[in-house]
């Protein structure tokens, strides 16, 4: 009985392999954030591809921690965000809500995989739901961050500027990440 309690207690700890993968994917997210295609005021980057891969490959728990490490690295000033930005200003500025929304996406994915498993259709569904939550949180943040003094922006206008142009790209990145991750997990027994 005591052995079971010890075993159960230790399941919350990370293995060395898990810690290495968490750190590695935090770095992958940073590199993906630096790869951008300028199509408007906010460039299309591979940042969300890195987020989707971290969650799909590492699972909800480890993917969430990897995303948290990535955001903390940016918060302390390392230039890990799009445009080689970092620091609290990047997180508290008008578009910081989208970065912070990654945490909500990760937590939703973690909870969803605990309830429904991590098969490919479930993973795609959870990533899509998480992306929608991230869009919603980020857009609300953007409206409040942008609307100061005489500058105001409607939620709809913010969606047109910050979300709608990126939906097709994000859906492509999401499906690619989920499919690639599914195959890599099978090959590497992750």
pLDDT in tens, the chain (190 residues): 454 544 455 567 999 999 999 999 999 999 999 998 887 666 799 999 999 999 999 999 999 999 999 999 999 999 999 989 999 999 999 999 999 999 999 999 999 999 999 899 999 999 999 999 999 999 999 999 887 777 788 999 999 999 999 999 999 999 999 999 999 998 987 7
Strand-pairing partners, residue 37, are 44
pLDDT of residue 186: 87
Measure the CA angle with vertex 67, ends 102 and 21; round to 5°.
150
Residues of the domain holding 83 = 2-188
Report the C-alpha dihedral over residues 176, 182, 186, 190, rounded to 10 degrees. Answer: 110
H or E, element range at 9: helix 2-10
| Structural domains of the chain, count | 1
Containing 133, the helix (H) or strand (E) segment is helix 120-146
Residue 29, domain CATH: 1.10.1760.20
Q: Which residues pair with 44 in a beta bridge?
A: 37
Residue 40 phi, psi (nearest 5): -175, -155
Say how many Å lie between the first and final Cα of the chain, rounded: 30
- Of 64, 138, 69, 70, the C-alpha closest to 106 is 64
Q: At how many degrees (to 10) do helices 167-188 and 47-75 cross?
A: 90
Instruction: List C-alpha distances in Å: 70 to 81, 84, 145.
Output: 9, 13, 22
């Amino acid at each position: 009985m005591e052995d079971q309690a010890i075993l159960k207690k230790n399941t919350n700890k990370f293995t060395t392999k898990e810690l290495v993968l968490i750190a590695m994917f935090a770095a992958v997210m940073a590199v993906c954030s630096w790869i951008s295609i300028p199509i408007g005021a906010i460039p299309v980057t591979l940042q969300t591809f890195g987020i989707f891969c971290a969650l799909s490959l590492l699972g909800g728990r480890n993917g969430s921690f990897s995303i948290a490490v990535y955001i903390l690295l940016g918060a302390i000033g390392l230039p890990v965000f799009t445009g080689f930005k970092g620091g609290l200003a990047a997180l508290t500025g008008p578009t910081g809500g989208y970065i912070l929304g990654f945490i909500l996406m990760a937590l939703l994915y973690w909870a969803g995989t605990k309830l429904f498993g991590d098969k490919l259709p479930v993973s795609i569904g959870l990533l899509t739901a998480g992306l929608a939550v991230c869009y919603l949180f980020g857009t609300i943040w953007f409206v409040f961050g942008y609307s100061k003094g005489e500058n105001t922006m409607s939620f709809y206008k913010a969606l047109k500027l910050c979300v709608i142009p990126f939906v097709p790209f994000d859906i492509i990145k999401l499906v690619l990440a989920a499919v690639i991750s599914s195959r890599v997990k099978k090959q590497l027994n992750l």
